[in-house]
Amino acid sequence: MDSALSSYLLQSLRAALRAGEAILSVYRDDFGVSYKDDRSPLTAADRKSHEIIAAALSSGTLSPLPLLSEEGINIPYARRKRWKRFWLVDPLDGTKEFIKRNGEFTVNIALVEGNRPVAGVVYAPVPDAAYFAGRGMGAYSISGVRLSALFRLSPPGFEASGNDAPQGAERGEELMDSILSAANRLTASGVCVQDTGAVTVIGSRSHTGKEFSDFVGRLKTRYDSVEIVPAGSSLKFCLVAEGKADLYPRFGPTMEWDTAAGDIIVEEAGGRVIDAETHSELRYNKQDLLNPSFIAMHKEAIKWQNR
């Protein structure tokens, strides 16, 4: 395993847990809602989570990386395009679900390199479920309680650099090995559409429309049964990665920070996230941070898509 990638992944896991704690402190209390210029909602939890993640990802002795966050400052493309590696963050994905208090919101942290995510963490504070992946290491899930315990039990210093870098790398590898041993390996095998004649589709709980309905209509001409399961935030990617759903089509607007962490988790679980029109993988750090329409799918659904 790449020791640097492992260390960055550990750093993002810890940041997500800390952010999740802050989000829950707001969630359990009365909170107000304001609105950004695009009329998307904003709460104190969004801001607190951003501040905690920004501090956590810039602290320690790992080489600091640029941060692009939904709640951060607007960074011009002329500056961003020179970045070789950076953090891409949604401090609170699913703010509408947070406001509805249905528990379906997440913290998304991705490490992007060469226009593609190479590591990602999706943490859902209410169910206390952490999903994570790194390029070439697979995708996993683990409870936040178990993950926090492993961090507490581990010796300090996995972020060490300079003369202590070899020891820090060794500590980081030991901690990551412990986490992987305790975690569940994800395999995006789906709900066996080939065997059952049925397909399970994850739909956005807050964003649906004609294109989604048309997509489902086309599926109904191929399969005996099409089940629609609504879900919020990046949990939709995680359901595909867990093999609990076959397809997650998204035709409404999303931003890069909404998808990067889920993208690498689905990919490392054996699935794909593709542009709905070109069938190519999604690209990140574009001049326009708006994503195209996309479809996340598991292994067997890839065969369906290629037919």
pLDDT at 205 over 80: no
By the 10 Å C-beta count (0-12 exposed, 13-18 middle, 19+ buried), 10 is classed as: buried
Residue numbers in the known binding site are 70, 90, 92-95, 258
| 3-class DSSP state of 295 | strand
pLDDT at 195 over 70: no
**CA-to-CA distance for 188 and 182, rounded, in angstroms?**
19
**pLDDT band of 164, cuts 50, 70, 90:** very low
Lowest mean pLDDT among 87-91, 161-165, 179-183: 161-165
Other Cβ atoms less than 10 A from the Cβ of 101: the count is 11
Quote the tokens at residue 237. Answer: 């990617």
Residue numbers in the known binding site for Mg(2+) are 70, 90, 92-93, 258
Domains of the chain: 3-185 (3.30.540.10), 193-306 (3.40.190.80)
Q: Is the pTM of this model over 0.85?
A: yes
Segments of 58-196 assigned E as strands: 67-69, 85-93, 106-113, 116-124, 129-134, 138-143, 184-185
pLDDT value at residue 159: 54
Asked if 121 contacts 111 with a C-beta cutoff of 8 angstroms, the reply is no
Q: What is the mean pLDDT of residues 46-52?
A: 97
pLDDT value at residue 161: 43
Residue numbers in the known binding site for substrate are 70, 92-95, 258
Phi/psi for 183 (5° steps) reads: -85, 165
**CA-to-CA distance for 214 and 90, rounded, in angstroms?**
29
Lowest mean pLDDT among 61-75, 183-197, 210-224, 263-277: 183-197
**CA-to-CA distance for 53 and 30, rounded, in angstroms?**
23
pLDDT value at residue 58: 92
Categorise residue 16: left if φ over 0, alpha if ψ from -120 to 50, beta otherwise: alpha
Q: Which residues contact 232 (CB under 8 A, 6 or more apart)?
A: 94, 96, 97, 102, 104, 105, 204, 205, 206
User: C-alpha dihedral over 22, 18, 94, 62, to 10 degrees?
Assistant: 140
SS3 content of the chain, % helix, strand, coil (to 5): 40, 25, 35
**CA-to-CA distance for 106 and 259, rounded, in angstroms?**
12
